[in-house]
Amino acid sequence: MLRFSLYIITLFIVVQSQAQIGGEKSYEFLNIPHTAILTGLGGVNTSSADKDVNLLFSNPALVGQSLDGEMGFNYLAYFSGIQLSSFAYAHHFKEKGTLSGGFQYLSLGEIDAYDPSGVLIGSVKSGEMNATLTFSHQINHFRMGGGIKWVSSNIAENRSNAVMFDIGGVFIHPEKDLKVGLVIKNAGFVVSEYSETSTTKLPFDVQLGVSYKPEHMPFRFTITGYNLTKKQVLNYQAGDNSSDPPNGFDKVLSRVVIGTEVVFSENVNLRIGYNHLVREHLRLEQTGGGAGISFGLMIKIKKIEFSYSHGGYHVGGGTNNFTIATNINRFVSGAKTNNND
């Protein structure tokens, strides 16, 4: 069995536990904001329907007919050379529904490996992947969606695989820019464990969110509740004298992500987000250092949409997320799209 340096193990736990309770679940990379719109709005979103095909990973009901032919590419530069890349595409079948699929890959890079005596014996490569297929169908103002995903994790010579399911829905107001989304994420079972003694737990979650844009204001507000099935999300143990116990405000706000879009036009969009749980877990005692605060910008140039977002995690730095999206139907002569900008 390979033994890894304490620094690398600690770093890996931090990466895997973004906005979660570190070390409790496996496959936590599924909760890392994988696209610029997610990062810009605070890291969690279940209600931004028909805005980005990449949100199929967040809630399968968010991808509908208006995103027919849409494809998106994402790249996230994480910490210490860790990278997350993803791809998504959607196709609408008339009177049936919208089929979409995507692929995510988290590269942990090369990790130093040591033998039991502590001697460096080389390096190993590790990574995790997720292949997802979703389908959504809309009846009147309600859209339901379901997704199945094959998740694989390779940490040195240890491998684990799982099958997971997402079930979601979204209400789309017929007149107002109001959407309400609900999703049950990462239910399923483990196909193979990392080792004979490991007991892998899935990162199951229930999330509920609302997005609303007042008619005469250039702002779209989003609030999303997550970790709704967990009893405790803040890192505090009873009898711990090293920190003050969380008050009621912190307990509630740590289950909520707040995001705002400043809609300058259909081609320019500024995003700002706040994640209180990330801030509480990663800020320094003397200063927050931007932890939990994110921002981003979306610009459409002709047929291509470019998005960039920065996620604040620590005074020492944050993450940078890039997304490129386009609709292939626009490149087909005579093709029409139904995108709602």
pLDDT given at position 6:
34
Q: 147 pairs with which residues across the strands?
A: 134, 166
Nearest Cα to Cα of residue 301 among 285, 281, 324, 284: 324
DSSP 244-308: PPP-HHHHHHTTEEEEEEEEEETTEEEEEEEEHHHHHHH--SS--TTTTEEEEEEEEETTEEEEE
Q: Could you give the CA distance from residue 252 to residue 242 in angstroms, rounded to a whole number? A: 22
Tell me the fold of 3-331. Porin (2.40.160)
pTM of the prediction?
A: 0.85
Phi, psi of 107 (to 5 degrees): -100, 120
Q: 166 pairs with which residues across the strands?
A: 147
Tens of pLDDT, residue by residue over 125-162, are: 789 999 999 999 999 999 999 999 999 998 877 889 99
Tens of pLDDT, residue by residue over 171-225, are: 999 999 999 999 999 999 999 998 888 888 899 999 999 999 999 999 999 999 9
- Sign of the Cα torsion 289, 292, 293, 298 reads positive
> What are the sequence ranges of the domains in the chain?
3-331
Alpha-helical (H) ranges within the chain are 6-16, 36-40, 248-253, 276-282
Q: Could you give the CA distance from residue 64 to residue 90 in angstroms, rounded to a whole number? A: 8
Query: Does residue 27 surpass a pLDDT of 80?
Result: yes
C-alpha 173: how far from its chain's center? 25
